[in-house]
Structure 1
Amino acid sequence: MELRHLRYFVAVAEELSFTRAAERLHIGQPPLSQQIQALEHEIGARLFERNKRRVLLTEAGRLFLVDARRMLALSEQAKETARRAHLGEAGELRVGFTFSTPFTPLFAKVVRRYRQQYPGVLLTFQEMATLPQLARIEARELDVGFVRPASMPLPSTVAVTMLRRDPLRLVLPADGPLARKKSITVKDLADQAFVVFPKEAGTGIYHQILDMCRAAGFSPTIAMEAGEPSTIIGLVAAGCGISVLPSSFEGIHMDGVVYRPLVDAAATTSMLLARHADGGGPLVDAFVAIAQAAVE
């Protein structure tokens, strides 16, 4: 059964005349009659009672008309959905983001603008560290991701767009001696214990802390590890050590903790927008374009 058979049937059912239906469909009456007969043969039921004076729907025809209209409507809906998806106006976009991303005003601005311009697109969000995001983008299980610089070279299958640079911040106990210093360098941290993300968490900041400390001539003492930034900040407040985090986390206010800048030039991080290097279609292209426009 083809969609044209359904259109032919609906036209005859609505006109109750093969002549008028043929004119409406812009085909000859004999071919129309043949198609209706073929449809009835395929279904195994008569759809019309017809004689020289009139055409009437049978009970089977009346029931079939309801479903035929529904199927035609669904076919039009399917075409419209495909068209909108091709234009980037419909479908699902899977967005990843690191722990620090929601604290950055840029993230909210991009998501808000995208929702306003493409209300028919379903946005789904997944919070995870940089390396897991890159792996999922490479496997096409994620469409775009807000990531930080990784501890290893990017896979050739992943492309990134620079969005912004953020300074790193020292997270310090409010009553500690470092909190009273006006200028702090990485060298000043040599005798400090650090609270950091676990190495296996896949965050770029873990390796950046190690690299900065080694460049300053020492290896950091890792006192504790925690998988959540709020937990890290809480452990600093509890006197378990100090930490280094992107400045966006300054939005987490906690008694007993202060944030201080590091004067070292290397004490910065970037926010990147990652996607598959082969492109992700119009949905991804539109999201990237909106993100770039929001930065500008």
Structure 2
Amino acid sequence: MELRYLKYFVMVAQTQHFTRAAEQLGIAQPPLSQQIKKLEQEIGVPLFDRSSRKVELTKVGETLYVDALNILKSVEQAKARAQQMARGENIEVRIGFATSTAICKEVLAIMRHLRETFPKVNFIGVELPMHKLVEQLKEKQLDLAFKRLPCYACEQLERIMLFEEPFIAVIPSNTPLASQSTLTFSQLRSERILQFPRETGPALYDEMTSIFSDKGIVCDPLYSAPQLRSAVAMAQAGFGIAIVPRSLAEHLDNSTTVASIQDMPLISQVVVAWEPNNLNHQVRQIIASIRHYKVQYLSNEPME
């Protein structure tokens, strides 16, 4: 499929008129119609409904239109980056952060390292839910993302596991368990445990729900938090006990106490992930730098 076919197709879809589309593209109308027919023949189905005075997309055409916009946008971004590099200008790299990773001291240390190592790169950070991060990585709207495992959607992404951390309990300070520094699940059975909706993180939700079920803990759906970090805030407000990765409980005030959970089998892994087809040279250099930093500062593994 030639790229110009997609450009012609998008213009016809936006103008809903072959003659106006041809004028916008600066070509004659008959060649434009021929190119669209070739694209339809290549795909095997009509992309436009030509039965009315207005040219309209078919269902297949609507699907292709969304993909075509993303492809053309990616091509323009790649072209702009290449031109920036050729001119020696700053290059833009977009990095996503899952809500629960944005405040991890290890992640912040990695970002400081990247800022110092790549002074000519403009790092643009966005904080999004896990599924949105995966979507934007696949659509190449993001170059890299810091995420937590388990994550079903991450299975098709390349990634580096950066560090692990245990889950702990954040307990309102006005409850009996607040005096405990270590707990077991049996002590939590009569407590209100704050849970998040499954759509926030299906894999983590399934893992935690399975653990709670095995340990005889029932979560009240009326007391759910949209994210792990907001579960901590709800615990601080006295709504219940939040079970979250340890880094989310750093720098809390005296409204809560923190306790380890002796029989918690789940460990949270923080990873940096990227789309396997992202061949951007600068991004690959950044990935290599993160890998080097991880080996040097976040693990005891020997350098290769």
Higher deviation after alignment, 105-114 or 277-286: 277-286
Whether the 8 Å contact between 1:194 and 1:222 is mirrored in structure 2 is no
Counterpart in 1 of 2:84? Answer: 81
- How many angstroms does 1:153 deviate by? 5.4
Structure 2 counterpart SS, 1:271: strand
TM-score scaled by structure 1?
A: 0.64
Distance of aligned partners of 1:200 and 1:80 in 2 relative to their CA distance in 1, 3 Å threshold: closer
Aligned partners of 2:147 and 2:82: how far apart in 1? Answer: 36
Separation in structure 2 between the aligned mates of residue 146 and residue 226 of structure 1, nearest angstrom: 21
**Alignment correspondent of 1:134:** 134
Which has the higher mean CA deviation after the structures are superposed, 222-231 or 93-102? 222-231
Partner of 1:279: 278
Matched-pair contact (CA < 8 Å) for 1:129–1:147 = no
Does the 8 Å CA contact 1:130/1:204 hold for their aligned counterparts? no
Give structure 2 stretches of 5+ with no counterpart. 1-80, 296-304
Shift of 1:234: 3.2
CA RMSD in angstroms, aligned pairs only? 2.6
Q: Identify the residue that residue 24 of structure 2 maps to in structure 1.
A: none
2-side partners of 1:159 and 1:245: how far apart? Answer: 25
Alpha carbons 1:237, 1:256 under 8 Å: kept: yes
CA separation of 1:115 and 1:212: change in aligned 2, threshold 3 A: same
The 1:154/1:114 distance shift into structure 2, 3 A limit, reads closer
| Pairing of 1:4-15 with structure 2 (within 5 A) | none
CA shift, 1:291, in A, is 1.9
Alpha carbons 2:173, 2:255 under 8 Å: kept: yes
- Select the structure of larger CA radius of gyration: 1
Partner of 2:144: 144
Per the TM alignment, residue 137 of structure 1 is displaced from its structure 2 partner at its CA by 0.8
Mean CA deviation greater in 215-224 or 163-172: 215-224
Partner Cα distance (2:245, 2:87) in 1: 38
Residue 155 of structure 1 deviates from its aligned partner by 4.4
Aligned to 2:245: 246
Deviations 1:146-172 (A, max 9, x none): 00114425343x112111001111011
| Alignment deviations for residues 28-69 of structure 1 (CA, whole Å, 9 cap, x no partner) | xxxxxxxxxxxxxxxxxxxxxxxxxxxxxxxxxxxxxxxxxx
- Aligned mates of 2:189, 2:292 — CA distance in 1: 41
Conserved in 1, the CA contact under 8 Å of 2:195 and 2:219? no
1:29 is matched with none
Q: Which runs of 5+ in 1 are unaligned?
A: 1-77
Q: CA deviation at 1:173?
A: 1.2
Amino acid of the structure 2 residue aligned with 1:275: W
**Once the 2 structures are TM-superposed, how far is the Cα of residue 96 of structure 1 from its aligned partner?**
0.5
Q: Distance in 2 between matches of 1:178 and 1:128?
A: 33
In the other structure, the counterpart of 2:164 is 165
* Percent of residue pairs bearing the same amino acid type: 20
Partners of 1:147 and 1:273 within 8 A in 2: yes
The alignment status of 1:177 with 2:180, answered yes or no, reads no
Q: Aligned-pair distance for 1:245?
A: 1.0
SS in 1 for 2:221: strand
**Aligned residue number for residue 289 of structure 2:** 290
What residue number does 1:15 align with? none
Counterpart code for 1:246: P
What corresponds to 2:122 in structure 1?
122
Moved more, 270-279 or 97-106: 97-106
Shift of residue 81, structure 1, vs aligned partner: 3.2
Q: 1:218 to 1:203 in 2, by over 3 A?
A: same
* Equivalence for 2:10: none
> Deviations for 1:72-96, whole angstroms, at most 9, x for unmatched residues?
xxxxxx98733478xxx84211101
CA change 1:187–1:106 in 2 (3 A) is same
Once residues 116 and 79 of structure 1 are traced to their aligned partners in structure 2, the CA distance between those partners, rounded to angstroms, is: 22
Cα deviation, residue 290, structure 1: 2.2
Change (3 A) 1:200 1:212: same
Alignment of 1:1-296 (within 5 A): 81-83=84-86, 90-152=90-152, 154-156=154-156, 158-202=157-201, 205-227=204-226, 229=228, 231-296=230-295
- 1:115 is paired with a residue whose SS is helix
Q: 1:206 to 1:258 in 2, by over 3 A?
A: farther
Q: Distance in 2 between the 1:230 and 1:164 partners?
A: 19
